[in-house]
Structures are given as C-alpha cells and as structure tokens.
Structure 1
C-alpha cells in the first residue's frame, strides 16, 4: 500500500512538471501564462500575418492587444459538461492562456485586423510607417 501511494505521488509530480513545460514558461522568446495557443507568424507584402489555433475558444473570450512591437493574446477555453455525467476519460480541460510575442518591427495599431473562424484566429499586422524603409535620392 505504501508503494502504491509513493507511485501515485511521483506520477502526480511528473504530470505537474509536464504541465509546466507545456505552458511555455521555459521559452526564452515569449512570455506566457497557461496553455498557450500555437502560432505561425509570417511576412506578406512587408507586413505580418499571425495565425493562432484556438479550438474551443469563443470569440468573446479572446483579448488581443498590440503596442509597439508586441502583441498579446489572452483568453479562456471553457468546457462545460452536464452535471449528470460520469467521466470515463478527461483530456480536454478548461484553461486560460496569456501570451505576449515580440514582433520584428513596430506595428501600426490602428490598422490591425483580426478574423476568427472555426477556431482559427488570423491577425493582419501592418508595419508602422516609422519602420518602413525610405528611398533616398542622391543629389
């Protein structure tokens, strides 16, 4: 019986360590809290496009902020079950996330556009005029 309790404790500790690594806490390039969504950021015509996977997150539970060269994605996935259910396996959990990403240039915050459909968030980020290259005429 004692061995069983020790094994349970070790497995619980392993789960806690796994969850810590899954939060992105140890990543050096972003800051985050909670299970964060995977993102792709790519350049298109001199501007950036960010695509984030957010299955199960409602649009009204999302918060997007842009300032300078950072973007913050925060939100919550809420999974509710009927009170009269018997769980056989639970792998999908409600979770909050809060992720801040550094961008390679400053963004024109007034021109940011976001679309959300079928759990996919697409954000168009226009490069700030001050960060665009200027053609210099030689006299």
Structure 2
C-alpha cells in the first residue's frame, strides 16, 4: 500500500534520503568501512512570498540511488543588496591560505583543502558583479565575500550618429 504524501510535510524528502543512506551502510560487508568523519545537513530559507529554499551541505550526498562521500559542501548564504552581493560560507578547520575563489560570469567557485578537510561548492550569483572590486576575508571558520554589482544603464540617453 502506497503512503499518501502530506503536501505540507517539507521533511518527507529528507526522510527518504536518510533511509537510503542507512540502507547503503547496511549493504557494506564486514571488512568495509568509511574512513573519516561524515555528515549531512540542510538549511531552509524562506523569503516572504516565495517558496522555501532547501540547501544541502556536508560530505555525504545521495546520488542516483547510491551514497557518495567526498568533498564537503559548506553551508553557504547569499545576500543580495542594492549595490552588493555578499556570500557567507562556513568552513571550519582550514586557514585563509587554503581558500581558493574563482568567479566566472554569474558563478562563484569556492575551494579549500587542509589535511582531511576538503570543501568545494559552486554558488550561483543573483546578479552580474565587478570582479575587480571583490573582497574576501576568513575568520573563525567563516568565509565572507563581498562583490559589487555592475551598475546597469540608468535613464535614457540620445546617441548621435556620425
């Protein structure tokens, strides 16, 4: 008998993913094990009048019917203001020298590695940004990136034809 899904239960998908992870762990043989720490989490953000945004983080990801363990996805928040885009990423256990940031178009790539801690994430930027004005700092496990938006043409201007 199929379970009837409650449309107001936003956690049902996560329950299914968690059950799949447990099934994968049960399939492991006696000599098999997973080395290193592993974790999985999600954050839920909802702006007024919009659907909830659910984002995953951690180093365990359900992928096509199996569990993939790899680089950690940091917990990332993106703040879109009038003049800037601010990205805040939680990446404990590394140093600022370990962080590599790359921007191409409207995509920011965050990479960091120190010992067994490896972070990697692509962040979609909500606006075009001026990469020459980018600023980033890392303190107490928190990466803070600020990018100025590229100003769009304002008003109307007559163009003379020569």
Q: Give TM-score scaled by structure 1 length.
A: 0.62
* 1:76 and 2:95 correspond: no
Q: Could you say which structure has the higher helix fraction?
A: 1
1:9 match: 28
- Measured after TM superposition, the shift of residue 133 of structure 1 is 5.2
| Distance change in 2, residues 1:12/1:134 (3 Å) | farther
Give the unaligned 5+ runs of structure 1: 1-6, 28-32, 79-93
1:107 deviates by 1.3
- Give the CA RMSD over aligned residues: 3.5
1:69-96 CA-to-partner distances (Å, cap 9, x unmatched) read 1100001132xxxxxxxxxxxxxxx232
User: 1:109 is paired with a residue of what secondary structure?
Assistant: strand
The structure that is strand-richer by fraction is: 2
Structure 1 stretches of at least 4 aligned residues deviating more than 3 Å after TM superposition: 10-16, 18-27
CA contact (8 A) 1:66 1:107 kept: no
- Structure with more relative contact order (C-alpha pairs < 8 Å, separation 6 or more): 1
Map of 1:1-139 to 2, 5 A cutoff?
Answer: 9=28, 22-23=58-59, 34-78=71-115, 94-129=116-151, 132=152, 134-136=154-156
8 Å contact from structure 2 (residues 94, 117) kept in 1: no
Change (3 A) 1:26 1:46: farther
CA contact (8 A) 2:91 2:119 kept: no
Residue number in structure 1 paired with 2:12: none
Give unpaired runs (5+ residues) of structure 2: 1-25, 41-55, 64-69
